[in-house]
Amino acid sequence: MRIAIASDHAAVSLKAVLAAWLREAGHDVLDLGPEGNASVDYPDYGFKLASAIADGSADRGIALCGSGIGISIAANRNPACRCALVSEPLSASLARIHNDANAIAMGARLIGEEMAKACVEAFLSADFAGGRHQLRVDKLSTKVPA
């Protein structure tokens, strides 16, 4: 699977751990940055992640910042991206099953490496249930009615 991963400066270390772990598992990982710990703006990286999903460069995305909140908001500005903020595996799995999430966000200051891996594993192994959920997911990809 092609997986894009992006972070801000607060999550560079977790991004590196997850990217290496995903590559070891045989995934094609697109690291969208940043490379170092210098302060950056999380919206820029959330936008990059969403663009990679929208243009087909990645099948799934992992967005990381200090809390996971800001980068998830940024990623969700692109209607092609459905990014769910998760902190444990059940939410990560349900994000796929019920919401057809194509990205997850996590907070590097709030989650440990092993829990982050468990969330990613749950997210990547779950499939969208479709059915009654499809109409709702379709609504997520349209503009808000006036």
- Going by the DSSP 8-state scheme, the letter that residue 56 receives in this structure is T
Helices (H), the chain: 12-24, 42-54, 69-75, 89-99, 113-125, 132-140
**Residue 21 Cα distances to 26, 44, 114, angstroms:** 9, 24, 11
Catalytic residue among 65, 81, 83, 119: 65
Task: Mark whether 119 is an active-site residue.
Answer: no
Please tell me the distance from the alpha carbon of residue 79 to that of residue 92, in angstroms, as a whole number. Answer: 20
Catalytic residue among 27, 81, 83, 98: 98
Q: 30 near 52, Cβ under 8 Å?
A: yes
Strand partners, 74: none
To the query of whether residue 9 is one of the catalytic residues in this protein, the response is no
Catalytic residues: 65, 98
